[in-house]
Amino acid sequence: MLEPRIGKVVVNICTGRSGEVLEKARTVLRELTGQEPCIRRAKRTIRAFGIRKGEPIACMVTLRGERAEEFLRRALSSVRGRIPERSFDENGNFAFGIKEHIDIPGTRYDPKIGIFGMNVVVNIERPGYRVARRRRCKSKVGRSHRVKREEAIEFIKERFGAEVVREVE
C-alpha cells in the first residue's frame, strides 16, 4: 500500500482566446492523447488581455492509468528527461511545461495547425487515496500515508529515468 503510483496526468493548453485557435489546440490535444479535450472558460474579465468572463480560452485533458504513463514518458522525453526540483510541491505532485508540442516524439508539424505549448501536471498518490474522493463515508488520508516531496522525486527517477535538477541562480 506504500508503493507510489501515477494518479493522473492533466495536460492543458491555454490559447487566451476562443475561436479557430482554440479549435486547433483541441485538435493537437486530441492527436497527442487520444481523448476528447474539454473546454475551460475564463473565470473573470481581464481587459488588458481582451478576455471576458465565461469566454472559452483553454482546453484540457485528464489521463489516468496506462494512457497517463505512456503520455508522461513521451512528454518527459520532450524535455530531455530533466525536471527542475522546484517543480515538485510538498504533496508529491509536479508540473512542467512543453514549449512546442512538436518536441514530443511521434508528432509531426502541420502548418495548418501551428505550434502550441502546454502544461503537464502530474499527481502522484498511493493506493487508498480513494477514501478522500468517494461519495459515501469520505475520510481524510493520514499524514503518514501521503506522498512526500522526496518520495515523489525518487519515484520519478526510478520509474521514468528522469533527472531532477537543482537550478542555481
**Residue 13 bridge partners (DSSP):** 59
Question: Domain spanning 5-12+60-164: which CATH class is it, in words?
Answer: alpha beta
Provide the residue ranges of all domains of the chain, joining segments of one domain with +.
5-12+60-164
Amino acid in position 95? A
User: What average pLDDT values come out for the chain (169 residues) when binned by 10 residues?
Assistant: 92 90 93 93 90 92 95 92 92 92 88 92 93 94 92 93 80
- pLDDT for res 134: 94
Degrees (nearest 5) of the Cα angle 13, 126, 29? 15
